[in-house]
Amino acid sequence: MSSPVSIRTLGPADVALMRSMLDMFGDAFDDVDAYRRAQPPTGYLERLLGTDTFIALAAVHGRDSVVGGIAAYLLPKFEQARSEIYIYDLAVAKTYRRQGIATALIAELQRIAAIRGAYVIFVQADYDDDAAIALYSGMGAREDVIHFDIAPKAGR
């Protein structure tokens, strides 16, 4: 990883960086509409970044150029008094890939997980995302699962 990139944990005062991270996710995932069209209002992002259950890490080049990021959730468990962390999104801008930024982001999340007492970090990857599969395979055990999206439905 080149030296001018630093990993920052975002808090309530970092809404501008969070918005930059959302823009970067849109570009990296080739899904600009989902990440830019309806970004939450500032108050929402301040509250989210201030919770103990949401973790946002930004790889920042210089003072404010977000070139990578992780959005993760701390999930308190019910079967035991422990938590796990789910990496919801992880991306690095195309021109910054293969420089160790994703690995550095995950390493920082591992450090945070240890501090918060999480027993595991888990992440999903699409079957055709060879780069993500290669990255995660070098860091943990693979589990093949089937993922389902179930739509909400108004009740009785």
Q: Note the pTM of the prediction, 2 decimals.
A: 0.86
Q: Is the pLDDT of residue 1 over 50?
A: no
Give the percent of the chain with pLDDT over 90: 68
Nearest to 73 by CA among 85, 81, 82: 85
Q: Give per-residue pLDDT as tens, 62-91.
A: 888 999 999 999 999 999 898 999 999 999
Question: Residue 60: which of 3, 1, 6 has the closest Cα?
Answer: 6
Tell me how far apart the alpha carbons of residues 111 and 105 are, in angstroms, rounded to a whole number.
10
Question: Has residue 134 got a pLDDT over 70?
Answer: no
Question: What phi, psi does 63 have (nearest 5°)?
Answer: -85, -35
Side-by-side strand order, sheet with 83-92: 5-9, 54-61, 65-76, 83-92, 118-123
| Residue range 80-126, pLDDT digits in tens | 898 999 999 999 999 999 999 999 999 999 999 999 989 999 987 66
- Domains of the chain and CATH, by start: 5-137 (3.40.630.30)
